[in-house]
């Protein structure tokens, strides 16, 4: 017997329709390329998104077509989130930190028909343009004009201006249809595409609202520091629009002073991003003290604050500026993901600035949040809250977890390690156009994450290691195998192994161990220059050590555990 319930679809246009009805007056603030501030309201964003959707239809974009964005965090990118989904097309966010060769492969593999490109990223896209088959390039974002741009490029503002929002209709879309896609970084072969359904994105938005996890509210002011090209900024923009919260977008300006200025000036209450960004902010705050926002001491000023510090002018008006705002006086929560948040970060924000850090775990294939750390366990130990918050936490609603070792599923004793496996309505069941024999799912329907974890009796996950020797720099993966294979292509190199070594800001950075051929000569800088044409700059090893030999296993594989032990105290050059 079926329940007698209305069959309402969970879709992104439904989020837009709700925001239009109830949240039109809420503000959206966006930095621009020149660091100026753009302000408008939900009603303006929705009207522009509707016109953009009509414009896309006029370009021939419809159900299932892929529309790519190569862009930073700003209001025009947010408009595309809703416009593309509203015509039944698939938003494909491209990572501008990837090498042009990877971008070329991804655009062609996804069969993108239109690419929205920030003006500042046109030089990067130009390195791909002759090798990709896209119908149209749409330029958005501010900044100076570039000398070279694709002949068929058109301005986003022209596309919107030429469309009539009265022609927009809320089409019937199946919640199981694809709404967005994002590619992995290709660290275990070529990049792989994960498709996200409307339903998965809506469920992720609701997950952000769960009180015992993050608990975002309409009164929050939300600053997504995580890039909008990375798993749709962890679906946080969708959640913010769903709940009707004020949104603050930083464009590409993620330096501590710029972020602190936005947090203070816009009275941000919640933000989310990778540990590397927030470690830099914490260090900046600790170093600069009261001048953390402006080294000249002028600070950031606001209409709120102690009345006694407001000098009154004739007519009862208050002049601006009139008082200094503390950098983090409104910030309540930081959601950290992408890699483990160190204890010094969690403790520093909580004890010195009163900000709660929530650790989260997820991946491209989980549509964002898979686990979130629980509230601190009750304990007499002063370190207990910080120890708890450095765990990856418990699974979000409807996500199930288990870990598998060599002998099968491991017990939840927080000691036995195994590879984390997950399943749920927001977890990928496969990759887009994946070759046969490359399934990431077990026979009984669980996704293999590749992360090595322990799980405690409460179901809280602790990340212990990573499979396949990946290196995580900031929130981005680097493939040691790809670097090794390239290094061994150098005529002077006999063998090369790349391992992760600790870094105070980026968590991990690659160290290359190289054996030269008899009589071969090469310097570390020569080898870096040899790698540079084929890899993004941030992939290049920070250091190269020349060794006599690389230990191997009985099967001939590099014994990287021995290298890690040898270089466990290695200090990278600053």
Domain ranges of the chain: 12-25+39-242, 264-468, 479-566
Identify which of 199, 215, 196 has the alpha carbon closest to the alpha carbon of residue 207. Answer: 215
- Residue 290 is predicted with a pLDDT of 56
Among 154-158, 390-394, 522-526, the minimum mean pLDDT is found in 390-394
pLDDT at 300 over 80: no
Among 94-98, 161-165, 336-340, the minimum mean pLDDT is found in 336-340
**Domain with residues 479-566, CATH architecture:** 2-Layer Sandwich (3.30)
Does the fold of domain 264-468 match that of domain 12-25+39-242?
yes
Q: Give the residue with greater pLDDT, 562 vs 389.
A: 562
Beta-bridged to residue 420, according to DSSP, are 403
For residue 420, the SS3 value is strand
Identify which of 413, 375, 407, 411 has the alpha carbon closest to the alpha carbon of residue 394. Answer: 375
Q: Give the residue with greater pLDDT, 212 vs 417.
A: 212
First to last CA, the chain: 67
**Exposed / middle / buried, residue 395 (Cβ in 10 Å: 0-12, 13-18, 19+):** buried
Catalytic residues: 184, 365, 472, 477
For residue 140, the SS3 value is strand
- Residue 335 is predicted with a pLDDT of 95
- Residue 307 is predicted with a pLDDT of 34
Handedness of CA 425, 431, 435, 440 (dihedral sign): negative
For range 341-359, the mean pLDDT: 87
pLDDT at 292 over 90: no
| Phi-psi group of 299: left, alpha or beta (phi > 0 → left; psi -120 to 50 → alpha; rest → beta) | left
For 7-16, how does the pLDDT look when each residue is reduced to its tens digit (9 = 90+)?
889 999 999 9
- State the Cα–Cα distance between residues 353 and 282, nearest whole angstrom: 9
- Residue 320 is predicted with a pLDDT of 41
Q: How confident is the model at residue 465 (pLDDT cuts 50, 70, 90)?
A: low
pLDDT at 367 over 70: yes
Determine the longest span between alpha carbons in the chain, in angstroms.
86
- Residue 222 is predicted with a pLDDT of 98
Q: Are strands 246-249 and 27-31 parallel, antiparallel or unpaired?
A: parallel
Q: What percent of the chain has pLDDT over 70?
A: 87
pLDDT at 303 over 80: no
Q: Cα torsion at 129, 132, 133, 139 (round to 10°)? A: -40
Among 19-23, 246-250, 269-273, 557-561, the minimum mean pLDDT is found in 557-561
For residue 299, the SS3 value is coil
Q: What percent of the chain has pLDDT over 90?
A: 63
Q: Are 153 and 139 in contact (CB under 8 A)?
A: yes
Of how many residues is the chain composed? 574
Q: How confident is the model at residue 380 (pLDDT cuts 50, 70, 90)?
A: very low
Q: Are 438 and 431 in contact (CB under 8 A)?
A: yes
CATH topology (fold) of 264-468 = Rossmann fold (3.40.50)
Strands (E) in 141-278, as ranges, are 154-155, 178-183, 193-197, 221-224, 246-249, 270-273
Q: State which of 4-18, 131-145, 227-241, 474-488 shows the largest mean pLDDT.
A: 227-241
For tokens 């984390």, what's the residue?
420
pLDDT at 323 over 60: no
- Residue 296 is predicted with a pLDDT of 41
- State the Cα–Cα distance between residues 535 and 538, nearest whole angstrom: 8
Identify which of 77, 127, 130 has the alpha carbon closest to the alpha carbon of residue 102. Answer: 127
- Helical pair 236-243 and 75-86, crossing angle rounded to 10 deg: 80
User: What is the chain's mean pLDDT, rounded?
Assistant: 87
- pTM here is 0.82
- Residue 484 is predicted with a pLDDT of 86
- Residue 246 is predicted with a pLDDT of 98
pLDDT at 91 over 60: yes
CATH code of the domain made up of 12-25+39-242: 3.40.50.12780
Among 303-307, 325-329, 569-573, the minimum mean pLDDT is found in 303-307
Beta-bridged to residue 461, according to DSSP, are 393, 455
């Amino acid at each position: 017997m079926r329940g007698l319930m209305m069959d309402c679809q969970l879709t992104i246009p439904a989020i837009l329709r709700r925001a239009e009805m109830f949240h039109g007056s809420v503000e959206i603030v966006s930095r621009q390329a020149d660091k100026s501030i753009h302000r408008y309201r939900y009603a303006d964003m929705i009207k522009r998104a509707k016109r953009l959707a009509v414009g896309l239809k006029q370009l021939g974009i419809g159900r299932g077509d892929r529309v790519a964005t190569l862009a930073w965090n700003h209001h025009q990118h947010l408009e595309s989130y809703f416009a593309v989904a509203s015509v039944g097309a698939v938003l494909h966010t491209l990572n501008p930190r990837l090498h042009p060769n990877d971008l070329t492969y991804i655009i062609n593999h996804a069969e993108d028909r239109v690419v929205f490109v920030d003006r500042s990223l046109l030089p990067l896209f130009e390195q791909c343009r002759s090798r990709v088959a896209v119908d149209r390039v749409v330029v958005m974002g501010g900044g100076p004009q570039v000398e070279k741009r694709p002949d068929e490029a058109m301005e986003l503002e022209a596309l919107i201006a030429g469309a009539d929002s009265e022609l927009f209709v809320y089409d019937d879309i199946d919640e199981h249809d694809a709404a967005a896609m994002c590619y992995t970084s290709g660290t275990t072969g070529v990049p792989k595409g994960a498709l996200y359904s409307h339903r998965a994105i809506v469920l992720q938005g609701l997950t952000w609202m769960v009180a015992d996890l993050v608990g975002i509210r309409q009164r929050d002011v939300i600053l997504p520091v995580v890039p909008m090209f990375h798993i749709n900024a962890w679906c946080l923009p969708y959640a913010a629009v769903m709940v009707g919260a004020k949104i603050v977008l930083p464009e590409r300006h993620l330096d501590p002073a710029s972020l602190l200025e936005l947090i203070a000036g816009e009275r941000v209450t919640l933000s989310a991003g990778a540990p590397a960004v927030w470690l830099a902010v914490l260090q900046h705050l600790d170093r600069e003290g009261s001048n953390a926002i402006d080294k000249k001491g002028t600070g950031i000023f606001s209409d709120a604050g102690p009345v006694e510090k407001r000098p009154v002018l004739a007519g009862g008006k208050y002049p601006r500026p009139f008082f200094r705002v503390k950098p983090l006086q409104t910030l309540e929560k930081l959601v950290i993901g992408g890699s483990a948040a160190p204890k010094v970060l969690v403790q520093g924000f909580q004890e010195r600035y009163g900000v709660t850090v929530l650790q989260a775990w997820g991946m491209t294939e989980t549509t964002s949040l898979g686990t979130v750390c629980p509230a601190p366990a009750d304990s007499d130990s002063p370190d207990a809250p910080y120890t708890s918050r450095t765990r990856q936490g418990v699974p979000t609603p409807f996500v199930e977890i288990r870990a598998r070792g060599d002998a099968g599923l491991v017990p939840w004793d927080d000691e036995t390690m195994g590879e984390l496996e997950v399943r749920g309505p927001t977890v990928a069941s496969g990759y887009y156009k994946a070759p046969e024999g490359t399934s990431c799912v077990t026979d009984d329907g669980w996704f293999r994450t590749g992360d090595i974890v322990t799980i405690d009796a409460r179901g809280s996950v602790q990340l212990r290691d990573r499979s396949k020797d990946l290196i995580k720099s900031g929130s981005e993966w680097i493939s040691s195998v790809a670097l090794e294979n390239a290094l061994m292509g150098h005529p002077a190199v006999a063998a090369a192994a790349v391992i992760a070594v600790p870094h105070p800001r980026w968590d991990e950075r690659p160290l290359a161990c190289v054996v030269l051929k008899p009589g071969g000569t090469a310097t570390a800088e020569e080898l870096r220059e040899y790698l540079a044409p084929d890899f993004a700059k941030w992939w290049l090893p920070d250091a190269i050590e020349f060794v006599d030999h690389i230990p191997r296993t009985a099967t001939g594989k590099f014994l990287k555990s021995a290298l890690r032990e040898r270089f466990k105290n290695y200090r990278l050059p600053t």
